[in-house]
Homo-oligomer: A and B are copies of this chain.
Amino acid sequence: MSSLPFFHLIQDDLQRAETLLQEPAPDQHLAITGAVQHLLGSGGKRLRPALVFLSSHICQADLTLATFAAAGVEMLHTATLVHDDLIDGSLMRRGTETLNARWSPAATVLTGDYLFARAAYWVARTGNVRLVQRFAETLMVICNGEIRQMFDSRSDQGIRIPTFEEYEQRIYAKTASLIALSAEAGAILAHTDEATIDALRTYGESLGLAFQVVDDVLDFIADERTLGKPVGSDLRQGLITLPVLLFLEGNGDHPALRSILTSSFTNERLQEAVRVIGNSPAIERSLQIARDYVRKAKEALRGFPFSPYQTALMDLADFVVQRQF
């Protein structure tokens, strides 16, 4: 993302957030400091901090407070990934080992908890109660969504196929809710009127939905090296994403997919299903839906006066559907 044309606008801001993220708390155990370095050092696009800073510039929020908020949302994101990877048994992310690949489940759970606390700490440092409240609500939405997915995605007959609305609700909880919070953070910090907060929130929510749809598409068409994790991970875990949903509309009886839906499949069957879906029109149809979200995101910005930061948010929305990683 650092190669994007608007990146220089917030380069110094992102650097400040990075320094804050790496800063150990007083008395912090060295194992945690090492884990934070490992987790943050493995890359990541810093999409959420970028949104906090761009919206803070647009709304003229205090940049010191914005830095606290940026560190908070990125740390919350990192904490959720730590527990997610543990739960999914994922060993690789962004091309490097996950924490649970190195540590016991117990140490991984506790480190994730610590990172939640650290995230709450940074957000509280903004001194903005409304932002703290939105932060807590967002974490509730994220966890609630994962619990829903865990309890409702299987029936006695195997994997339950969600409706489009259920899929959208899931990716809202998983991804769009925190991206929406990041985008509205600048307006909340600047105490703008409600319409401005709403507009930036709508932008972030639509951007987040687009982002997750593209993620779900990449799981079928990217190569493992670019992706930093095995292709087809979602389907392997029985997660029905948009490409599968759309593919099933016309091909409900495809044998490779059938065997996956009844939860008894070989690795060969999985590879076949991934290949078949990746070469089907479901991919282009999914990307079309992502582009619709992006259009909605950009529409939400129309009320803002023209500025380099507004342009940057527009460009960022386009980037989300063009990215290959």
Contacts and interface: CB of A to CB of B under 8 A. Distances in A.
A180 to B, nearest CB: 16
B117 A139 contact: yes
Interface in A38-68: none
10 contacts: A32-B144, A87-B109, A107-B147, A112-B113, A114-B140, A117-B139, A117-B142, A118-B140, A124-B129, A128-B129
Contacts of A112: 109, 113
A311 to B, nearest CB: 34
A238 B58 CA distance: 55
Contacts of A31: 147, 151
B117 A143 contact: yes
Contacts of A86: 109
Q: Is the interface of A mostly helix, strand, loop or mixed?
A: helix
B32 A147 contact: yes
B129 A127 contact: yes
A244 interface: no
Contact of A110 (B124, B132, B141, B150): B150
A127 B118 CA distance: 19
Interface in A185-211: none
Contacts of A148: 29
A107 B118 CA distance: 23
Nearest to A105: B105
Interface string A230-263: 0000000000000000000000000000000000
A133 B29 CA distance: 20
Nearest to A117: B139
A281 B136 CA distance: 48
A125 interface: yes
A247 to B, nearest CB: 27
A226 B159 CA distance: 44
A139 B116 CA distance: 9
A6 interface: no
A127 B117 CA distance: 18
Nearest to A31: B151
Smallest CB-CB A-B distances: 5 pairs: A117-B139, A114-B143, A121-B136, A120-B136, A87-B106
Interface string A58-100: 0000000000000000000000000100110000000000000
A260 B254 CA distance: 58
A147 B114 contact: yes
